[in-house]
């Protein structure tokens, strides 16, 4: 006779095993408490002394359940004194045939006798038949529930709702007519929006710069104990179309479709990010570029054309900051340039970029004229976009007709890839159409930062913010500046806005005579 075949008369002590499928059930309900109460009533009826209660709030195999493992260890240490193992229902032991019988044998080998108020366990043929049937029904219910859950989730995805765990920057909230829907979770939503738009426009050249930006945000969740974020996670954030307001589930056959949640970025911005990710890789920004030497890597040695490095030099009483050329063989190799001398001359260039007030008013008027002109062109753009949408829809219909007639799997796969590409193109066109003629902000709001930068870039540079200083370098200059130790900074190659303003400033302005400027001819 096996250990689990001992009659009830030999058993005087009992343990109770309770289990629910998830931790949520312990919060939203009292499943564990209800099971324990029913098992205690059964133990009292049978005359058992309950010595211990073991609980699990998860599903899974026996090895992943800490409560089950603890119970088996408890029974193993008291093998000579058999204990009844009381479960509320056969489904609380396991919801699969194989797992059920594995646990049945484990409990028996540990000296336990499995009992339940819902079923009479026995070794005769009739008892085993009933046990097998109930275990089969329990497994069928689990599989059926899983299928129904997946079908409901898939149908909800088809309706444009996200059904998985809320991504960073969102949280679930109940809404009338929608059920649980994603809403922006501040301040992480704004932080993530700035990171995504910054990478799309080139403010962050590499994924490493995006990673460092997110790591500097106190509220943004970190993965590693040292407060860092994994590189793979940054890549995942940049490639998730859900942040553009769309949902997709390729494994369930759910193609790209508009979601009901608020987008953090536009689909156009998302496509720019994907294009940058597929582009030529760039070297990450040096981590040792600090606020002490903001021009490090931007100023070139005039002798060899290589970027200058920087360091602190130890004097007798204190340290002194210097820039220097690190290239061996260069005539200026390791020859120091005082930081205040080089940066002072650079700041002088920035201060000279400030246009006059009259010229700045003229530039603002030009922006206003361009803004008004764009509104006039919006109607024509909308007509052109609608024509492109109709063309894309015609191509999709033609490809669908070809799929029906195709007999080769490879041809069908090629058509499906082409349709998916056209669907993304259609989504992009629809988004452009919805934004045509509808600016997100007023003229003043749209150009506020740009006008502030054009008015005086030195004021922005003068702030103790390394990111803003790097932004000034990218926006004000087309290429790095060479520095000659004898003659100082060479002529800078300014960005187009400052070059245009410089032409206005240097141009000779006067009223034209009725007969022109050229001298009269006979």
In a domain, 270, yes or no: yes
Position 24 scores a pLDDT of 62
Q: 117, 148, 179: which is the final residue of a domain? A: 148
What integer is the mean pLDDT of 393-413?
83
pLDDT of 521 over the 60 cut: no
Specify the CATH number for the domain of residue 229: 3.90.1750.20
Q: Report how far residue 111's alpha carbon sits from residue 282's, in angstroms, rounded to the nearest whole number.
A: 65
pLDDT of 519 over the 80 cut: no
pLDDT digits (tens, 9 = 90+) for 59-91: 655 556 788 888 888 888 888 888 888 988 877
Higher pLDDT, 471 or 18: 18
pLDDT digits (tens, 9 = 90+) for 8-65: 447 888 999 988 877 665 555 567 888 888 899 989 888 888 889 998 876 655 556 7
pLDDT of 359 over the 70 cut: no
Same-domain pairing of 467 and 431: no
pLDDT of 335 over the 80 cut: yes
- Residue 280 DSSP class: -
Same-domain pairing of 130 and 253: no
Same-domain pairing of 304 and 317: yes
Q: Report how far residue 234's alpha carbon sits from residue 196's, in angstroms, rounded to the nearest whole number.
A: 10
Same-domain pairing of 318 and 460: yes
Same-domain pairing of 139 and 66: yes
Same-domain pairing of 349 and 465: yes
Same-domain pairing of 321 and 464: yes
Of 310, 421, 435, 451, whose CA–CA distance to 374 is shortest?
A: 435
* Geometric angle at alpha carbon 51, from 47 and 56, rounded to 5°: 115
Higher pLDDT, 520 or 96: 96
Position 240 scores a pLDDT of 92
In a domain, 511, yes or no: no
pLDDT of 1 over the 50 cut: no
DSSP assignment string, 110-160: TTEEEE-SS----SSHHHHHHHHHHHHHHHHHHHHHHHHHHHHHHHHHHTT
Same-domain pairing of 334 and 461: yes
pLDDT digits (tens, 9 = 90+) for 416-470: 888 888 888 888 788 777 766 666 556 555 666 666 777 778 777 877 677 778 8
Higher pLDDT, 364 or 502: 364
The pLDDT mean for the chain works out to 79
Q: Cβ atoms within 10 A of the Cβ of 206, count? A: 16
The first and second tokens of residue 432, run together, are: 């452009």
Q: Is the separation of the CB atoms in 92 and 119 below 8 Å? A: no
Q: 246, 278, 310: which is the final residue of a domain? A: 278
User: Which band of pLDDT confidence, cut at 50, 70 and 90, is reported for residue 489?
Assistant: confident
The first and second tokens of residue 407, run together, are: 């007999």
Portion of the chain with pLDDT greater than 70, in percent? 81
User: Domain of 414?
Assistant: 357-451
Same-domain pairing of 124 and 202: no
Same-domain pairing of 327 and 343: yes
Same-domain pairing of 203 and 345: no
Specify the CATH number for the domain of residue 30: 3.40.50.1390
pLDDT digits (tens, 9 = 90+) for 161-214: 998 999 999 999 988 888 889 999 888 999 999 999 989 888 888 888 899 889
In a domain, 164, yes or no: no
User: Rounded to 5 degrees, what are φ and ψ at 496?
Assistant: -55, -45
Please give the model's pTM, rounded to 2 decimal places.
Answer: 0.51
Q: 278, 311, 344: which is the final residue of a domain? A: 278
In a domain, 240, yes or no: yes
SS3 content of the chain, % helix, strand, coil (to 5): 50, 15, 35
- Residue 508 DSSP class: -
pLDDT of 522 over the 50 cut: no
Q: Report how far residue 95's alpha carbon sits from residue 21's, in angstroms, rounded to the nearest whole number.
A: 10
pLDDT of 289 over the 70 cut: no
Q: Is the separation of the CB atoms in 88 and 35 below 8 Å? A: yes
Q: Is the separation of the CB atoms in 311 and 290 below 8 Å? A: no
Cis check for the bond before 187: say yes or no (omega within 30 of 0). yes
User: Rounded to 5 degrees, what are φ and ψ at 84?
Assistant: -80, 135
In a domain, 157, yes or no: no
Sign of the CA dihedral with 373 first, then 379, 382, and 386 last: negative
As for how many domains the chain has, the answer is 4
Largest interatomic CA distance in the chain: 137
Q: Report how far residue 219's alpha carbon sits from residue 195's, in angstroms, rounded to the nearest whole number.
A: 14
Same-domain pairing of 366 and 349: no
In a domain, 517, yes or no: no
- Characterize the bridge pairing of strands 49-56 and 13-19: parallel
């Amino acid at each position: 006779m096996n250990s689990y075949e001992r009659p009830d008369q030999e058993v005087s002590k009992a343990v109770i095993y309770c289990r629910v499928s998830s931790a949520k059930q312990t919060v939203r309900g009292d499943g564990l408490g209800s099971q324990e109460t029913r098992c205690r009533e059964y133990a009292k009826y049978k005359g058992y002394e309950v010595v211990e209660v073991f609980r699990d709030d998860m599903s899974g195999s026996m090895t992943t359940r800490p409560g089950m493992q603890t119970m088996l260890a408890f029974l193993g240490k008291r093998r000579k004194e058999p204990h009844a193992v009381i479960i509320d229902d056969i489904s609380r032991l396991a919801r699969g045939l194989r797992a059920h019988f594995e646990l049945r044998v484990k409990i028996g080998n540990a000296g336990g006798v499995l009992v339940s108020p819902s079923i009479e366990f026995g070794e005769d043929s009739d008892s085993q038949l009933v046990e097998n049937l109930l275990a089969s029904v329990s497994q069928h219910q689990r599989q059926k529930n899983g299928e129904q859950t997946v079908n409901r989730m898939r149908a909800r995805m088809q309706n444009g709702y996200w059904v998985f765990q809320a991504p960073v920057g969102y949280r679930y909230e109940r809404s009338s007519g929608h059920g649980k829907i994603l809403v922006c979770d501040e301040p992480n939503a704004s932080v993530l929006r700035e990171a995504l738009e910054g990478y799309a426009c080139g403010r962050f050249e590499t994924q490493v710069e995006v990673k460092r930006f997110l790591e500097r945000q106190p509220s943004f969740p970190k993965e590693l104990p040292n407060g860092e974020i994994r590189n793979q996670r940054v890549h995942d954030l940049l490639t998730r179309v859900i942040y553009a307001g769309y949902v997709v589930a390729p494994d369930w056959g759910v193609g790209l479709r508009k979601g009901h949640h608020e987008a953090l970025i536009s689909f156009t911005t998302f496509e720019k990010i994907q294009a940058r990710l597929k582009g030529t890789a760039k070297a990450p920004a040096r981590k040792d570029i600090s606020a002490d030497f903001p021009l490090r890597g931007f100023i070139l040695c005039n002798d060899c054309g290589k970027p200058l490095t920087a360091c602190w030099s130890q004097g007798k009483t204190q340290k002194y900051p210097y820039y220097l050329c690190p290239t061996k063989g260069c005539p200026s190799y390791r020859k120091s340039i005082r930081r205040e001398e080089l940066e002072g001359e650079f700041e002088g260039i920035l201060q000279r970029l400030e246009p006059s007030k009259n010229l700045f008013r003229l530039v603002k008027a030009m922006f206003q004229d361009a803004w008004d002109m764009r509104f006039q062109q919006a109607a024509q753009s909308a007509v052109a976009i609608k024509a492109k949408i109709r063309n894309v829809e015609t191509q999709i219909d033609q490809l669908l007709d070809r799929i029906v007639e195709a007999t080769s799997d490879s041809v069908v796969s090629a058509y499906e890839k082409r349709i998916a590409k056209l669907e993304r193109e259609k989504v992009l066109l629809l988004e452009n159409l919805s934004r045509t003629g509808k600016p997100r902000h007023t003229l003043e709001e749209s150009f506020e930062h740009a006008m502030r930068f054009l008015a005086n870039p030195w004021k922005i540079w003068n702030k103790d913010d390394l990111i803003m200083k790097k932004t000034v370098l990218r926006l004000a200059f087309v290429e790095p500046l060479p520095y000659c130790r004898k003659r100082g900074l060479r002529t800078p190659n300014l960005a187009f806005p400052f070059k245009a303003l410089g032409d206005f400033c240097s141009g000779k302005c006067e009223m034209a005579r009725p007969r022109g400027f050229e001298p009269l001819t006979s």
